[in-house]
């Protein structure tokens, strides 16, 4: 092998310098060779080795790998990676070009002068397209707000485009600066993009630091001119003149890159004239590299003219490896030009076959290769070998390849959605760990394109605590003891205060809906500040719904939506109702200053009301502060102050406050005080500031590492898992930016997101040492319909199937983890149960077990208990629903009901139940003697009606029905309604007490806004009995029940006067039934029992007809239009007693002994009432 070029240094110190390319399919092979190189010390013992790595995760792994070679003793396991400085490519370029973190040409800094230039240029002839896009000539209004809100996002996008131009085509920026409008690829700039060249020229004038293309050219020239100088960082007596401020050792390495920009290669090429520069490049195929070399030496060409794909044999290398092929072209120019470049490659095997050759320029570039430890023993190994050799096996080769029958080196799992993917991956990993005791969690890498979606799911599936049993005594999942480290998540996911800041910016300028504010209140820092526990939040949510809050802080906050006429539904409106409810009772249509007090605000809730009021006041102050903000610093200061006013953190978490202040202040650090920002601008600014940034400490900490596809690319692990490889997620769906000059005629080596994602998949395949596990959504989690895998994944599956004769099956998993196929040997996995979830096993057994009807709630009646005092209200409530009376009063059992979600929508129309609520409340107020005008005004002030004229129209409709009922009431006695207290002592010293409302003279009237039915009739009958039994013998009490009838008419049923003795007898019979109902749930559903008695009362022998009529009330009734009317058996209380869909026959049973069935009890309670009906209309 020829020696690299020899450069004679100053002062007689000779240095051998060159640009060295090291290539291998396996990154660990490259790392070991790098370790051998670094083990040879630099001349200066105090000099730091410099290794440039593309990502934080690769840095962490490489440092750990090098520690097994550097500074080790005889055992080789006690080393330490010290004296090595790891840099990112940007850091190296910054060092070479003399830039720093405050470089004004960085996109996040350039955006501010660019905004100033754009603002000054709007309306100029060359800026017509940009002016129109930003709404410069648009009249104020919604369209103007939308377009003007693009300012910062457009400027940031352009700043990033200019940055890319400077990296990929610096000659284009040079041409623009010098007045030549070209695309940097030999063509004139398209006319519709000419405004960018003019904008660039103005920007160069506005920024007083040389632009990137100038600094790049000057740096390259300086490096080449100073090639004879010894490296900076050597001993002082060996130091000579070089580039000012450059402090690099005599050699440096770039490790693990699959893409390098043209400017970076030019800098490395120039740097290699004075230092040894080693490029350690993972390449899928060294054979392919050799075939690409002649074409690669031609250098960068237009992508459409690149024919290197024709040289590729393996389909995966052709479809997934474009980035690595184009890297050869980018580096080809350096190899072609020589300057001491050398190239070496290895086939990652171990046997030492070598070959040498000569580059086109005749210099002594070398190439070496090695071949195999032996034939692979798995499908994954054969696939990697084919990729390494760029070889497609024929049918005979495939059949000859030896692979174990149970080979699972490549696993493809099709699941129902992200959550199921995580569950399946959990079972796969636990199985692998169980099968191989040498496999540890640190040997497993989990990557997914969308880590934010999968992070909470992974957190719920892994690492919940030690393996043991849950509260029910069931073994917890073994995956719960696996530690998981989630890397490169967004800052809002790691700092709750930043999440609050992001959420509050979302509130500002929005509608400030009820759910948004409740969600903000439920965040941990806000809860801590205002001492809100779960019960407080539930109460707050209920109050929000009851007070009619929908959206908008106050009327002024609704002005942008042209709905500032009425305050109803705003937070200010609801808060006023809540505060007034603390001091004033909500009985009747009372209003104070146009505010209706909120009912159900007890004295014990005063403190909570105060805390909620303070929370809303601080939200309002924060919104006002942001509304006054103009510059970026004012926005960030106001946001910081607001977040600190709304939140609190424990002492041990005080770092979150400092992090919040640093993050928000850094967002505005380079902003001009002359550039105003709109809310839309701030949202984009904050979103960019809070984007995910991986840290070195997040990787390889001993547990399972979960990250996106980039940070750990090419890093070998025994098991590599890919989650979320869905067709709509991977590769990234990237639309072409019409303003991107590079996208018009892209050159090889220029960044393309979809090609980069495909390369990432190829890198992951090559990084897997033993197992490659891939999960994707193969079926819709709602409909079950099939979903295709991502296209690159489909190509991988096809290639794997063409590698050996072993089948590569896609495992289609069932929707539920407790599906029996997960838990049997002939199910999903085939050889053993797939799942390790003990709770899923119990659920599967229950699912597969016999379907038995729910047993009786009681097998025998409970012992009777002595009842001495009964309230009239309890008696009426019992006969309204005997099942509820037994469960709630005797067993102290309730039924669970789904909490109603708070609505963010202003009501446009009311449904039937909402109309009934308003109508019933208005009717009761009218019956209490209140003025109609005050009642309906009060209803408008509750905030439950539609706004403006819509609410008045609805109220008029309800009012007509109420007044129609009141008209029927007026036909009775003319006395004012009064309340009568009753107290009756019945046989057995049972005392009945209560109050009867709505009494006029000797007539009690019960009116309801509902249709008149059995419930109202029974209540009216019981009140009549109580008044009669408690009164004198000759008083002659009567009762009437009013309600809605058919066709808009009023239905009325009257009960005539009866003797006091008869009333006492009937009342005693009802109390006897009540007492029985405390021992067992009596089969007396009120509608069903009434329907039975309507038939039997006329003819006691017509029991079959009575049963048919009763069944209609008990069971579901189907309507002709396809709808249905629930029966009484669907009531939650009756379902709890008899189970779902209980047949009518259960009511014919006697739960409390003989004579307690429906047929026997119904006459006892209904026959006297029906006998005493005076009139019906």
pLDDT tens per residue, range 94-119:
888 777 777 899 999 999 999 999 99
Q: What is the mean pLDDT of the chain?
A: 85
Residue 100: count other Cβ atoms within 10 Å of its Cβ. 9
Q: How many CA atoms lie within 13 A of 20 on its CB side?
A: 24
Residue 85: count other Cβ atoms within 10 Å of its Cβ. 14
What are the residues whose beta carbons fall under 8 Å from the beta carbon of 1060, sequence distance 6 or more?
Answer: 1028, 1029, 1031, 1032, 1033
Q: Return the pLDDT at 513.
A: 93
- Second-level CATH architecture of 869-937+946-1082+1161-1176: Alpha-Beta Complex (3.90)
Is 410-482+703-813 the same fold as 6-99+216-374? yes
Q: Return the pLDDT at 194.
A: 95
Tokens describing residue 1004: 């009690």
Mean pLDDT over 741-751 rounds to: 93
Tokens describing residue 202: 């103005």
pLDDT band at residue 69 under the 50/70/90 scheme: confident
Question: d(Cα 1010, Cα 1006) in Å, to the nearest integer?
Answer: 12
Q: Return the pLDDT at 732.
A: 84
Q: Return the pLDDT at 355.
A: 31
- CB-count burial class (<10 Å; 0-12, 13-18, 19+) for 611: middle
What are the residues whose beta carbons fall under 8 Å from the beta carbon of 782, sequence distance 6 or more?
Answer: none
Q: For the chain, how far is it from start to end, CA to CA, in angstroms?
A: 115
Instruction: Give yes or no for residue 238 having a pLDDT over 60.
Output: no
Question: d(Cα 41, Cα 1161) in Å, to the nearest integer?
Answer: 102
Helix (H) or strand (E) holding 555: none
Mean pLDDT over 720-736 rounds to: 89
Q: Return the pLDDT at 1122.
A: 64
Mean pLDDT over 1039-1066 rounds to: 88
Dihedral sign from CA coordinates of 607, 613, 619, 622: negative
Question: d(Cα 867, Cα 1074) in Å, to the nearest integer?
Answer: 10
pLDDT in tens, 951-975: 778 888 888 888 888 887 766 666 7
Mean pLDDT over 1072-1077 rounds to: 93
Give the pTM.
Answer: 0.82
CATH topology of domain 410-482+703-813: Rossmann fold (3.40.50)
CB 748 within 8 A of CB 94: no
User: Where is pLDDT greater, at 800 or 595?
Assistant: 800
Q: Return the pLDDT at 89.
A: 86
Instruction: Give yes or no for residue 852 having a pLDDT over 90.
Output: no
Tell me the CATH number of domain 107-208, given options 3.40.47.10, 1.10.1660.10, 3.40.1350.10, 1.10.10.160. 1.10.10.160
Question: d(Cα 309, Cα 320) in Å, to the nearest integer?
Answer: 11
Tokens describing residue 665: 């202040």
pLDDT in tens, 615-634: 999 999 999 999 999 999 99
Residue 1098: count other Cβ atoms within 10 Å of its Cβ. 11
What are the C-alpha distances in Å from 1041 to residues 727, 961, 1016? 65, 16, 7
Smallest Cα–Cα separation from 969: which of 936, 935, 1004?
1004
Question: Helix, strand, or coil here: 1061?
Answer: helix
pLDDT band at residue 293 under the 50/70/90 scheme: confident
Residue 471: count other Cβ atoms within 10 Å of its Cβ. 5
Alpha helices in 808-848 (DSSP H): 838-848
CATH topology of domain 491-689: PCRA; domain 4 (1.10.486)
pLDDT in tens, 174-233: 999 999 999 999 899 999 999 999 999 999 999 999 999 999 999 999 888 875 443 443
pLDDT in tens, 933-946: 888 888 778 877 88
Instruction: Give yes or no for residue 260 having a pLDDT over 70.
Output: yes
Instruction: Give yes or no for residue 365 having a pLDDT over 70.
Output: no
Compute CA 1136 distance to the chain's CA centroid, rounded to the nearest angstrom.
Answer: 36
Q: Return the pLDDT at 905.
A: 86
Q: Return the pLDDT at 700.
A: 62
User: Where is pLDDT greater, at 701 or 510?
Assistant: 510
Question: d(Cα 914, Cα 574) in Å, to the nearest integer?
Answer: 19
pLDDT band at residue 1 under the 50/70/90 scheme: very low
- Second-level CATH architecture of 6-99+216-374: 3-Layer(aba) Sandwich (3.40)
Instruction: Give yes or no for residue 12 having a pLDDT over 60.
Output: no
Mean pLDDT over 629-650 rounds to: 94
Cα dihedral 92, 94, 98, 99 in deg (nearest 10): -170
Q: Return the pLDDT at 155.
A: 94
- CB-count burial class (<10 Å; 0-12, 13-18, 19+) for 336: middle
Q: What is the DSSP letter of 597?
A: P
Percent of the chain residues topping a pLDDT of 90: 48
Question: d(Cα 725, Cα 741) in Å, to the nearest integer?
Answer: 31
- CB-count burial class (<10 Å; 0-12, 13-18, 19+) for 285: buried
Instruction: Give yes or no for residue 813 having a pLDDT over 90.
Output: yes
pLDDT in tens, 430-448: 999 999 999 999 999 999 9
Question: d(Cα 1011, Cα 1168) in Å, to the nearest integer?
Answer: 22
pLDDT in tens, 398-432: 999 989 988 899 999 999 999 999 999 999 999 99
Instruction: Give yes or no for residue 547 having a pLDDT over 60.
Output: yes
pLDDT in tens, 1093-1109: 999 988 888 889 999 99
pLDDT band at residue 470 under the 50/70/90 scheme: low
Q: Return the pLDDT at 1165.
A: 93
Question: d(Cα 900, Cα 251) in Å, to the nearest integer?
Answer: 68
User: Where is pLDDT greater, at 931 or 791?
Assistant: 791
CB 564 within 8 A of CB 573: no
Q: Return the pLDDT at 181.
A: 95
pLDDT band at residue 988 under the 50/70/90 scheme: confident
CB 356 within 8 A of CB 347: no
- CB-count burial class (<10 Å; 0-12, 13-18, 19+) for 842: middle
Q: Return the pLDDT at 44.
A: 86
Tokens describing residue 358: 């000569």
CB 621 within 8 A of CB 630: no
Range in 305-314, 619-628, 1051-1060, 1167-1176 with the lowest mean pLDDT = 1167-1176
Range in 78-82, 295-299, 305-309, 657-661 with the lowest mean pLDDT = 78-82
Instruction: Give yes or no for residue 1172 having a pLDDT over 60.
Output: yes
Smallest Cα–Cα separation from 444: which of 715, 766, 695, 809?
715
Instruction: Give yes or no for residue 353 having a pLDDT over 60.
Output: no
Tokens describing residue 937: 């005004």
Q: Return the pLDDT at 5.
A: 30
Question: Helix, strand, or coil here: 202?
Answer: helix
Percent of the chain residues topping a pLDDT of 70: 88
Q: Return the pLDDT at 372.
A: 40
Helix and strand element counts for the chain (H, E): 43, 26
Q: Where do the domains of the chain lie?
A: 6-99+216-374, 107-208, 410-482+703-813, 491-689, 869-937+946-1082+1161-1176
């Amino acid at each position: 092998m020829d020696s690299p070029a020899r450069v004679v240094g100053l002062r007689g110190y000779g240095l051998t310098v060159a640009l060295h390319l090291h290539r291998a399919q396996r990154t660990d092979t490259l790392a070991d060779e790098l370790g051998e190189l670094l083990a040879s010390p630099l001349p200066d013992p105090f000099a730091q080795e410099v290794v440039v790595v593309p990502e934080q995760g690769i840095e962490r792994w490489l440092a750990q790998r090098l520690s097994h070679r550097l500074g080790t003793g005889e055992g080789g396991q006690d080393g330490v990676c010290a004296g090595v400085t790891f840099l990112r490519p940007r850091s190296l370029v910054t060092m070479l070009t003399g830039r720093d973190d405050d470089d004004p040409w960085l996109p996040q800094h350039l955006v501010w002068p660019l905004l100033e230039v754009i603002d000054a240029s709007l309306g100029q002839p060359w800026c017509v397209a940009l002016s129109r896009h930003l709404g410069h000539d648009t009249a104020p209004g919604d369209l103007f707000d939308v377009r003007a809100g693009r300012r910062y996002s457009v400027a940031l996008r352009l700043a990033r485009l200019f940055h890319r131009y400077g990296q990929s085509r610096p000659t284009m920026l040079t041409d623009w600066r010098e007045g030549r409008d070209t695309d940097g690829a030999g063509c004139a700039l398209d006319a519709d993009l000419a405004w960018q060249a003019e904008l660039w020229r103005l920007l160069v004038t506005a920024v007083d630091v040389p632009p990137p293309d100038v600094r790049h050219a000057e740096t390259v020239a300086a490096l080449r001119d100073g090639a004879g100088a010894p490296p900076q960082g050597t001993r002082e007596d060996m130091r000579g003149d070089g580039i000012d401020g450059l402090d690099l050792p005599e050699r440096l390495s770039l490790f693990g890159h699959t893409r390098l920009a043209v400017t970076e290669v030019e800098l490395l090429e120039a740097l290699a004239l004075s230092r040894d520069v080693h490029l350690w490049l993972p390449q899928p195929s060294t054979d392919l590299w050799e075939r690409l070399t002649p074409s690669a030496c031609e250098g960068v060409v237009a992508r459409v003219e690149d024919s290197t794909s024709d040289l590729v044999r393996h389909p995966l290398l052709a479809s997934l490896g474009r980035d690595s092929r184009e890297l050869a072209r980018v580096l080809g120019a350096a190899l072609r030009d020589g300057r001491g470049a050398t190239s070496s490659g290895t086939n990652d095997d171990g046997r030492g076959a070598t070959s040498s050759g000569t580059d086109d320029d005749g210099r002594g570039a070398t190439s070496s290769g090695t071949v195999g430890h032996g034939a692979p023993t798995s499908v994954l190994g054969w696939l990697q070998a084919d990729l390494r050799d760029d070889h497609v096996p024929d049918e005979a080769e495939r059949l000859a390849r030896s692979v174990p029958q149970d080979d699972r080196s490549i696993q493809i799992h099709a699941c129902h959605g992200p959550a199921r993917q995580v569950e399946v991956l959990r079972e796969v990993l636990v199985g692998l760990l169980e099968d191989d005791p040498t496999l540890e969690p640190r040997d497993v890498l989990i990557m997914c394109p969308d880590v934010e979606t999968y992070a909470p799911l992974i957190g719920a599936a892994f690492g919940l605590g030690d393996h043991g049993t849950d509260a029910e005594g069931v073994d917890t999942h073994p995956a719960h003891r696996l530690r998981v480290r989630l890397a490169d998540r967004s800052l809002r996911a790691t700092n709750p205060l930043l999440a609050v800041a992001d959420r509050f910016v979302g509130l500002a300028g929005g509608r400030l809906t009820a759910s948004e504010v409740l969600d903000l209140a439920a965040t941990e820092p806000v809860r801590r500040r205002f001492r809100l526990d779960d019960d407080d939040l539930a109460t707050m949510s209920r109050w929000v719904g009851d007070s009619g809050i929908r959206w908008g802080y106050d009327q002024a906050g609704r002005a942008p939506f042209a709905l500032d006429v009425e305050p109803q539904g705003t937070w200010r409106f609801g808060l006023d109702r809540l505060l007034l409810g603390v001091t004033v009772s909500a009985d009747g249509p009372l209003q104070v200053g146009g505010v209706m007090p909120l009912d159900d605000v007890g004295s014990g809730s005063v403190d909570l009301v105060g805390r909620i009021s303070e929370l809303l006041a601080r939200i309002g102050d924060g919104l006002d502060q942001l509304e006054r903000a103009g510059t970026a610093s004012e926005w960030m200061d106001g946001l910081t102050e607001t977040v600190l006013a709304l939140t609190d953190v424990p002492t041990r978490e005080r770092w979150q406050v400092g992090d919040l202040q640093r993050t928000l202040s850094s967002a505005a650090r380079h902003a001009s005080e002359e550039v105003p920002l709109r809310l839309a601008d701030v949202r984009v600014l904050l979103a960019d500031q809070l984007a995910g940034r991986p840290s070195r400490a997040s990787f390889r900490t001993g547990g399972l590492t979960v990250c996106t596809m980039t940070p750990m690319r090419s890093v070998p692990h025994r098991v590599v898992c890919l989650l979320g490889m869905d067709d709509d997620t991977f590769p990234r769906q990237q639309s072409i930016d019409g303003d991107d000059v590079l996208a018009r005629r892209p050159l090889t080596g220029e960044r393309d997101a979809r090609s980069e994602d495909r390369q990432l998949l190829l890198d992951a395949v090559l990084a897997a040492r033993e197992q490659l596990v891939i999960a994707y959504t193969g079926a819709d989690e709602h409909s079950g319909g099939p979903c295709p895998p991502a296209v690159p994944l489909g190509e991988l599956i096809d290639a794997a199937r063409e590698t050996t004769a072993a089948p590569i099956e896609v495992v289609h998993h069932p929707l539920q983890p407790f599906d029996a196929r997960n838990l049997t040997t002939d199910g999903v996995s085939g050889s053993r149960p797939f799942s390790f979830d003990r709770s899923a096993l119990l659920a599967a057994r229950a699912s597969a077990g016999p379907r038995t009807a729910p047993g009786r709630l009681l097998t025998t009646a409970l012992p009777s208990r002595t009842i001495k005092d009964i309230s009239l209200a309890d008696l009426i409530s019992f006969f309204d629903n005997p099942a509820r009376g037994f469960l709630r009063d005797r067993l102290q059992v309730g039924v669970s009901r789904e909490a109603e979600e708070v609505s963010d929508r202003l009501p446009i129309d009311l449904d039937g139940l909402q109309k009934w609520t308003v109508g019933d409340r208005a009717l009761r107020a009218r019956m209490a003697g209140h003025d109609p005008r005050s009642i309906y005004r009060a209803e408008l002030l509750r905030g439950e009606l539609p706004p403006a004229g819509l609410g008045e129209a609805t109220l008029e409709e309800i009012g007509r029905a109420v007044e129609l009922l009141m008209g029927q009431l007026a036909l009775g006695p003319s006395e004012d309604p009064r309340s009568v207290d009753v107290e009756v002592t019945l046989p057995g010293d049972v005392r009945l007490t209560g109050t009867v409302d709505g009494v006029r003279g000797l007539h009690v009237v019960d009116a309801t806004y509902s249709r008149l039915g059995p419930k109202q009739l029974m209540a009216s009958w019981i009140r009549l009995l109580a008044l009669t039994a408690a009164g004198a013998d000759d008083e002659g009490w009567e009762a009437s029940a009013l309600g809605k009838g058919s066709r808009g008419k009023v239905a009325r049923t009257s009960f005539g006067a009866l003797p006091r003795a008869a009333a006492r007898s009937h009342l005693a019979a009802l109390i006897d039934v009540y007492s029985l109902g405390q021992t067992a749930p009596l089969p007396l559903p009120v509608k069903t029992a009434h329907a039975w008695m309507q038939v039997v009362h006329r003819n006691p022998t017509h029991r079959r007809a009575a049963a048919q009529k009763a069944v209609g009330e008990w069971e579901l009734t189907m309507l002709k239009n396809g709808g249905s009317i629930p029966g009484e058996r669907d009531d939650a209380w009756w379902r709890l007693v008899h189970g779902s869909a209980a047949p009518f026959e259960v009511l014919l049973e006697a739960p409390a002994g003989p004579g307690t069935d429906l047929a026997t009890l119904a006459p006892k309670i209904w026959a006297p009432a029906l006998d005493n009906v005076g009139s019906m209309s």
